[in-house]
Protein backbone atom coordinates (compact mmCIF):
# COMPACT_ATOMS: atom_id res chain seq x y z
CA UNK A 1 0.00 0.00 0.00
CA UNK A 2 1.49 3.26 -1.06
CA UNK A 3 -1.31 5.66 -0.18
CA UNK A 4 -3.08 6.24 3.10
CA UNK A 5 -6.42 4.47 3.22
CA UNK A 6 -9.24 4.56 5.72
CA UNK A 7 -9.91 1.59 7.97
CA UNK A 8 -13.18 0.94 6.16
CA UNK A 9 -11.42 0.79 2.78
CA UNK A 10 -8.89 -1.66 4.18
CA UNK A 11 -11.60 -3.90 5.63
CA UNK A 12 -13.47 -3.92 2.31
CA UNK A 13 -10.26 -5.08 0.62
CA UNK A 14 -10.05 -8.08 2.96
CA UNK A 15 -7.84 -6.72 5.71
CA UNK A 16 -8.61 -7.58 9.31
CA UNK A 17 -7.30 -6.35 12.64
CA UNK A 18 -4.25 -8.29 13.79
CA UNK A 19 -3.23 -8.01 17.43
CA UNK A 20 0.11 -9.48 18.51
CA UNK A 21 1.71 -9.76 21.92
CA UNK A 22 5.49 -9.93 21.85
CA UNK A 23 7.40 -11.41 24.77
CA UNK A 24 11.02 -10.34 24.77
CA UNK A 25 14.04 -10.46 27.05
CA UNK A 26 15.43 -7.27 28.49
CA UNK A 27 18.90 -6.55 27.07
CA UNK A 28 20.58 -6.09 30.47
CA UNK A 29 18.56 -8.73 32.35
CA UNK A 30 18.17 -11.74 30.05
CA UNK A 31 16.18 -13.72 32.62
CA UNK A 32 13.41 -11.06 32.73
CA UNK A 33 10.60 -11.16 30.16
CA UNK A 34 8.64 -8.08 29.15
CA UNK A 35 5.68 -7.75 26.80
CA UNK A 36 4.69 -5.39 24.02
CA UNK A 37 1.30 -5.26 22.25
CA UNK A 38 1.11 -4.36 18.54
CA UNK A 39 -1.98 -3.83 16.34
CA UNK A 40 -2.38 -3.17 12.63
CA UNK A 41 -4.63 -4.08 9.74
CA UNK A 42 -3.18 -7.10 7.95
CA UNK A 43 -4.09 -9.80 5.44
CA UNK A 44 -4.58 -13.36 6.67
CA UNK A 45 -3.21 -16.02 6.34
CA UNK A 46 0.17 -14.60 5.25
CA UNK A 47 0.27 -11.59 7.63
CA UNK A 48 2.89 -9.58 5.69
CA UNK A 49 2.78 -6.56 8.03
CA UNK A 50 3.21 -8.69 11.15
CA UNK A 51 6.19 -10.55 9.71
CA UNK A 52 7.72 -7.29 8.45
CA UNK A 53 7.45 -5.91 12.01
CA UNK A 54 9.05 -9.09 13.44
CA UNK A 55 11.94 -8.73 10.98
CA UNK A 56 12.31 -5.07 11.97
CA UNK A 57 12.37 -6.04 15.65
CA UNK A 58 15.03 -8.69 15.12
CA UNK A 59 17.28 -6.31 13.16
CA UNK A 60 16.86 -3.06 15.12
CA UNK A 61 15.77 -3.73 18.71
CA UNK A 62 18.19 -5.05 21.32
CA UNK A 63 15.71 -7.12 23.32
CA UNK A 64 15.65 -10.60 21.73
CA UNK A 65 12.20 -12.07 21.11
CA UNK A 66 11.13 -14.96 23.29
CA UNK A 67 7.74 -15.61 21.68
CA UNK A 68 4.90 -13.98 19.77
CA UNK A 69 1.22 -14.80 19.97
CA UNK A 70 -1.36 -13.16 17.77
CA UNK A 71 -4.97 -13.16 16.74
CA UNK A 72 -6.66 -11.93 13.59
CA UNK A 73 -10.24 -10.74 13.31
CA UNK A 74 -11.95 -9.79 10.09
CA UNK A 75 -14.35 -7.07 11.13
CA UNK A 76 -16.43 -6.72 7.96
CA UNK A 77 -16.42 -8.25 4.53
CA UNK A 78 -17.46 -6.90 1.14
CA UNK A 79 -20.79 -8.76 1.32
CA UNK A 80 -21.64 -7.15 4.65
CA UNK A 81 -21.20 -3.55 3.51
CA UNK A 82 -23.81 -1.46 1.78
CA UNK A 83 -23.27 2.11 0.63
CA UNK A 84 -26.34 4.16 1.50
CA UNK A 85 -26.78 7.55 -0.09
CA UNK A 86 -29.59 9.72 1.19
CA UNK A 87 -31.07 11.01 4.39
CA UNK A 88 -34.61 11.43 5.62
CA UNK A 89 -35.39 14.29 7.98
CA UNK A 90 -38.44 14.11 10.20
CA UNK A 91 -40.01 17.27 11.61
Q: Where are the domains of the chain?
A: 18-79
Rounded CA separation 50/14 (Å): 16
SS3 5: coil
Question: Which residues, 6+ apart, have CB-to-CB distance to 42 below 8 Å?
Answer: 15, 16, 17, 18, 48, 49, 50, 72
pLDDT tens for the chain, residues 1 to 91: 445 678 888 888 888 999 999 999 999 999 999 999 999 999 989 999 999 999 999 999 999 999 999 999 887 655 666 667 776 767 6
> For residues 49 and 18, is the Cβ–Cβ distance under 8 A?
yes
User: Which of 59, 58, 75 has its CA nearest to residue 22?
Assistant: 58
Amino acid sequence: MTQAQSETELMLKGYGLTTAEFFYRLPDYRHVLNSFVWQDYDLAPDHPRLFRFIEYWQKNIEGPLHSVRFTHRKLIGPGEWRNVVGEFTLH
